[in-house]
Amino acid sequence: MAGNARMGSLRPGPHRLGPFGNLMALRWVDFITPSTLQLAPLLELLLEPIECPRQQLALQLGLQEALVNAVRHGNGCDPFKCLRVRRIVAPRWFIWQVQDEGPGMPLKARASALPDRQDATSGRGLFLIHHCFDDVRWSPRGNRLQLAARRGRAR
């Protein structure tokens, strides 16, 4: 995969203690890659920490939909634009933040319902994303999508 990865870890201050008084460690990695639909290598890296095969399959489907939407709709399939993905591994959550360089998705278009027409050629991606993840959030601008799944929970 052509792109960059940057790793880091965050050790929150004493106000963020775990249930047993220990500090909760967050591990994160940033992936920056040209906007392309050749997503298999990136998906493999993004799903590396997932140990449960059933959970990995569900999350792969949702992540692929999010990445395809970012490349097609956000970046307009422009290979000179970048796709940025941050993977965060927390004690109880897996979190991905997918960001494109587009103008953002309008608030009205962020619905998670299926299209009204069965023969519609688009509109199922957001429905799938919402069913693959436990939590889905948008940036105010609409060009960054945060997806979160509880660790060890197959959907």
How many domains does the structure of the chain reveal?
1
pLDDT the model gives residue 2: 47
- Which residues lie below 8 Å from residue 2, measured CB to CB, with a gap of 6+? 33, 34
Q: Which domain holds residue 34?
A: 24-113+121-150
Residue 11 counted as domain residue: no
Residue 155 counted as domain residue: no
Are the C-beta atoms of 138 and 100 separated by less than 8 Å? no
Spans of the chain below 50 pLDDT: 1-2, 7-22
Are the C-beta atoms of 83 and 116 separated by less than 8 Å? no
- Sequential DSSP letters for 99-131: E-SSS---GGGG--SPPSSTT-SS--HHHHHHH
CATH code (residue 52): 3.30.565.10
pLDDT the model gives residue 132: 95
Instruction: Report the largest interatomic distance among the alpha carbons of the chain, rounded to a whole angstrom.
Output: 54
What confidence tens digit (pLDDT) does each residue in 11-28 have?
333 334 444 444 557 789
Residue 32 counted as domain residue: yes
Rounded Cα gap, residues 150 and 104, in angstroms:
27
pLDDT the model gives residue 15: 36
- Order of strands, edge to edge, in the sheet holding 82-89? 4-10, 26-34, 82-89, 93-99, 144-150, 135-138
pLDDT the model gives residue 119: 65
Residue 13 counted as domain residue: no
Residue 60, phi then psi, degrees to nearest 5: -60, -45
Residue 8 counted as domain residue: no
Residue 19 counted as domain residue: no
Residue 97 counted as domain residue: yes
Residue 80 counted as domain residue: yes
